Amino acid sequence: MAEKEIELKIMRQDPETDKGPRYENYKVPYVDGMVVLDAVRYVQEHTDPTLAIRWNCKAAKCGSCSAEINGMPKLMCKTRVDTIGDKITVSPMAAFPLIKDLVTDVSKNWEITRKIPMFTPKENMEKPWRINPKDVEKSKEFKKCIECGLCMDVCHVVREHYTPYFGPMHIVKAASWDMHPLDGVDRSKYLNKEGGLGYCNITKCCTEVCPEHIHITDNAIIPEKERAVDLQYDPIAMLIKGIRKKEKVMK
Amino acid sequence: MAFSTKEENDSKFQKITRFPRELGELRFWSFVLVTVLAIYLMYVFALTEPVQGLTDPFYSPTILVLPLVAGFRATCYAYRKDYHRHLFSHPIGCSVENFNKEGEVNFPGEKVGRPYSGETGIFRLENLHRYFWYAAVAILPFFYYDLYLAMAYRGEFTLGVLLLILNTLWVTLYTFSCHFFRHLAGGNVDCYSCPVNKKSYRRTIFNRISKLNGHHEMFAWISLASFFLVDLYIRGVAAGLPINILLFRL
């Protein structure tokens, strides 16, 4: 009996030498329990060693092997072949500039991260800093982010349009600091003005693709939007905040 | 490339999308047409008087404050997701496409999306959601008053009363699972246990509302569907159909 095979279609392009991208077909023997990364690595090891891929831990924790698998941004190491069938198309993340084949340049992410005001402790806190574990629950969820960039790739604002929007991954980063119980900075106004938070239209695709199941939209983006409304659009909230600030100064 | 520089933003994007182009599209106007027609029919075929004690939820006192109720739903985060996807196609779904219209590979392509302003142009009005929420909370007691009227009408618990109870329940759950209420109740607090200005009770409220909030989209659609179904039911009763079945006497 012939062994079962997978039909793998991989997008190939070396921007330095190729005019445009093309899909190439490969046949890979199926092994029970294999993931897409196994199949792609088989091609690299046995069929075409010039295929460029990026991967590291193969345990869905390093966030290196992000790709578009059958039209959905996924981690190659977390996507089992038996869940998607034997005809598989793998492309690099289109939201990022291509380096070669399945490898993209994600360095822009670090540039954006550097722009967001870092964790800044509240003034006049007694040392040592003490935190009730229950208080860090909100910001702890965002610490699960493995920075794989899948949310950035699926976000239609980042992918399709020219906007100043930082992207969901960075809103999560900012929210993790904003909701930290000892942080003294409110980044929502900055995110709205400089980070293009208003361009997000809450379509929740980022939440759908997050391999760490972070509730990106409900727990990071919407709360940041509401905080920005407090500071920029809601006259009553602005008045209350203004009075409180004055009271603090008078004390 | 996907990330754009400030120059690109200035030259290619910002100037042309202050007024969203999708508002000029047929899909949007067909939706507006259906909505206007529905509102017109509600006024023409009004059911302003209670039928066997049952008050149509559309007319109690919603019809008087329809813009507020419509505004509450239109600016709600749950509906925002749906109409941005299905009415304006930004985006239609979450799958990503690497082919252009001719079926050629288009990666890493030019940005081919239509001009887009998200919630920065006219949709900035969505930030007024909280004011509509205040109005919705003010309207909510009328639903409970209608329940009282329905039960007190003949001292009977009928199928109509049961449907009104369910309708009121869905509307209440929808209103109090709102993202803004979650923010107001405790989402805007970062340190609940800090020695100064302790707010541990707000953490409890926040956690409970967060659980409700997880089902906000479901409540949004069920409560809307319930409005229409109860309206149809009461119109059926008004037309003389024997559907207001007696369940038990109070």
The residue among A156, A234, A251 with the most chain B CBs within 10 A of its CB, best to mutate, is A156
Q: For domain A5-104, which CATH number applies: 3.90.1200.10, 3.30.70.270, 3.10.20.30, 3.40.190.10?
A: 3.10.20.30
Q: CA A64 to CA A66: how far, in whole Å?
A: 6
pLDDT band at A20 (very low <50, low <70, confident <90, very high): confident
- Are B123 and A196 a contacting pair at CB < 8 A? no
Smallest Cα–Cα separation from A41: which of A57, A52, A30, A25? Answer: A52
Rounded percentage of chain A residues whose pLDDT exceeds 70: 98
Q: DSSP for A165-198, please give it.
A: ---HHHHHHHHHHHT-TTB----HHHHHHTS-GG
Provide DSSP, B54-120. BPPGGGTTGGGGHHHHHHHHHT-HHHHHHHHHHTT-TTSSS----B-TTS-B-TTPPP-PPP--TTS
Average pLDDT over residues B82-90: 88
A 102-121: CB under 8 A from B:
108
Q: Give pLDDT tens digits for B125-158.
A: 999 999 999 999 999 999 999 999 999 988 889 9
Interface of A with B in 43-82 (CB under 8 A): 68, 71-73
Residues with Cβ within 8 Å of residue B27, at least 6 apart in sequence:
B87, B88, B89
Q: Which of B9, B112, B180 is closest, CB to CB, to A160?
A: B112
The reply to whether residue B77 touches residue A98, judged by beta carbons under 8 angstroms, is no
How do residues B173-199 score in pLDDT, each as one tens digit? 999 999 999 999 999 999 888 876 677
The tens digit of pLDDT for each residue in A135-193 reads: 999 999 999 999 999 999 999 999 888 889 999 999 999 999 999 999 999 999 999 99
CA distance A31 to chain B (A): 27
Can you give the residue range of the structural domain that contains B165? 15-177+215-249
Q: Which of A157, A202, A227 is facing B80, going by the closest CB pair?
A: A202
**DSSP codes joined into one string, A43-81:** IIIII-TT-------SSSSS---EEEETTEEEEGGG-BG
Q: Please, which pLDDT band fits residue B108 given cuts at 50, 70 and 90? A: very low
pLDDT at A109: 94
Q: What percent of chain B has pLDDT over 70?
A: 82
**B8: Cβ contacts below 8 Å, ≥ 6 apart:** A162
Most confident of A197-206, B59-68, B102-111: A197-206
Domain boundaries, chain A: 5-104, 107-250
Mean confidence (pLDDT) of chain A: 93
Name the band, by pLDDT with cuts 50, 70 and 90, for residue B24.
Answer: confident
Cα→Cα distances A78→A67, A87, A104, A143, Å = 11, 17, 19, 20
Q: B127 at the A interface (CB within 8 A)? A: yes
Report pLDDT for B209.
Answer: 97
- Given a cut of 90, whether residue B50 has pLDDT beyond it is no
The pLDDT score that the predictor gives to residue B4 is: 52
Residue B53's region, left for phi above 0, alpha for psi from -120 to 50, else beta, is left
Question: Chain B neighbours among A 154-183 (CB < 8 Å)?
Answer: 154, 156-165, 178-183
A136 in contact with chain B, both atoms CB, cutoff 8 A:
no
Question: Is the per-residue pLDDT at A67 higher than 90?
Answer: yes
ipTM of the complex: 0.90
The model's pLDDT over B198-220, given as tens digits with 9 standing for 90+, comes to: 778 899 999 999 999 999 999 99
Q: Which two tokens stand for residue B65?
A: 């404050």
Residue B2: burial class (beta carbons within 10 Å; 0-12, 13-18, 19+): buried
Question: What pLDDT does residue B16 have?
Answer: 47
Q: Which residues of chain A are within 8 Å of residue B77 when distances are taken between CB atoms?
A: 202, 222
Q: Which residue of B has its CA nearest to A158?
A: B2
Tokens for A85, please give them.
């069938």
Which range scores top for mean pLDDT: A74-78, B110-114, B147-151? A74-78
pLDDT at B92: 82
**pLDDT above 60 for B17:** no
Is residue B64 scored above 90 in pLDDT? no
Is B199 part of any domain? Answer: no
To 5 degrees, how large is the angle CA B17–CA A220–CA A141?
Answer: 155
Q: Report the alpha-carbon distance of residue B118 to residue A198 in Å, rounded.
A: 6
pLDDT computed for residue B157 by the predictor: 92
Under the banding of pLDDT at 50, 70 and 90, the label for residue B165 is: very high
Give contacts of B94 with chain A, Cβ < 8 Å: 72, 154, 203, 205, 208-209
How much is the average pLDDT of A214-243?
94
The number of C-alpha atoms within 13 Å of A79 and in the hemisphere containing its C-beta is 24
Is it the case that residue B6 has pLDDT exceeding 60? no
CA B158 to chain centre: 29
User: By the 8 A CB rule, do B48 and B59 touch?
Assistant: yes
Angle, alpha carbons B59-B61-B63 (nearest 5°): 55
Report whether pLDDT(B161) > 50: yes
pLDDT value, residue B2: 47
Decide if A135 and B90 are in contact by the 8 Å CB cutoff: no
> Is the Cβ pair A229, B105 closer than 8 Å?
no
Residues of B in contact with A96 (CB under 8 A): 1-3, 108
Domain A107-250: assigned CATH number: 1.10.1060.10
pLDDT tops 70 at residue A110: yes
Q: Is residue B35 part of a domain?
A: yes
Tell me how many domains chain B contains.
1
- Residue of A99, A109, A163, A244 to mutate for B, most B C-beta atoms under 10 A: A163
Q: Is residue B187, in this structure, part of any structural domain at all?
A: no
Residue A41 clears pLDDT 90, i.e. is over it: yes
Is A233 close to B90, i.e. CB distance below 8 A? no
Q: Which residues does chain A have within 8 Å of residue B1's beta carbon, measured at their own beta carbons? A: 96-97
Residue B98 pLDDT greater than 80, yes or no: no
Q: Calculate how close chain A gets to B58, using CA atoms only, in Å.
A: 28
CA of A30 to nearest chain B CA: how many angstroms apart? Answer: 26
Q: What integer is the mean pLDDT of A195-223?
A: 96
Structure tokens belonging to residue B151: 């039960």
Q: For residues A22 and A16, give the distance between their C-alpha atoms in angstroms, rounded to a whole number.
A: 14
